[in-house]
Amino acid sequence: MSPEKLVYMANQIGKFFRHQPREQAVASIADHLMKFWDPRMRRAIFAHLDSDGTGLDPNVHEAIQTLRQVHLTAAQPPP
C-alpha cells in the first residue's frame, strides 16, 4: 500500500475523532491504528513518519509517534 493511501486513511481516522479534546483524539487514533491496522500497515506508516511525515494531520502525526514509541518499548527486552 502506498504511503499516500496510508496517510489518507490515517487522516480519515483523525477526522472521525476531531470532535474530541486533542489528547483524547490522539489516544483514540493510536488505539484505532493498533486494533484495526495490519502490522505491515503500521510499519509502513512508521517508515513514512521517519522519512518526513508529509501530509499527516497534527493529531494523526502525534498518534503515530505515540504508537511507535509503544512498539519500541514493547520490543525491548526487560533489563
**Contact, 58 vs 74, CB < 8 A?**
no
pLDDT of residue 31: 96
What does the pLDDT profile of the chain (79 residues) look like in tens digits? 899 999 999 999 999 999 999 999 999 999 999 999 999 999 999 999 999 999 999 999 999 999 998 877 777 666 6
Where do the domains of the chain lie?
3-75
pTM beyond 0.85: yes
